[in-house]
Amino acid sequence: MPYIDGFVAAVPTDRKADYIAHAREAWDRIFAPAGALRCTEAWGDDVPDGKVTSFPMAVQCKPGETVVFSWIEWPDKPTRDACMAAMEAGEGMDAMAEMPMDGQRMIFGGFDPVLTLESTSG
């Protein structure tokens, strides 16, 4: 069963290209070699502010920043855990050193899928 890492961050809007380059480098140097199956980086397009909670509130999004929502699909949790352990040991962290956003405001977590639905049309 696959395992998912999810991320939400606020990125300076004028650094979109830097963010994409950073994500590609992290994929090439860390996640793909560690066995990740897929990575999706989604740039906020319709991300409203909330009254109680919201994506922008969760990452303390400031004017001039855009919320990004990303996920990495792993073949299983042990593969993901091995990658995270290697990262904690400093392996491949040079690719993460120059993040084009405030990493302290990024939220992330690991998720065990309980339901996957797909369209049969198209």
Q: How much is the pLDDT for 121? A: 81
What is the tens place of the pLDDT at every residue in 56-65? 999 999 999 9
SS3 110: strand
Distances (CA, A) of 81 to 24, 30, 34, 52, 76: 21, 13, 10, 33, 9
What is the tens place of the pLDDT at every residue in 8-57? 999 999 999 999 999 999 999 999 999 999 999 999 999 999 999 999 99
Determine contact, residues 108/69, Cβ cutoff 8 Å: no
Task: Please give the domain boundaries of the chain with CATH numbers for all domains.
Answer: 3-95 (3.30.70.100)
Task: Give the predicted TM-score (pTM) of the model.
Answer: 0.89
Helix (H) or strand (E) holding 79: helix 77-88
Share of the chain above pLDDT 90, in %: 80
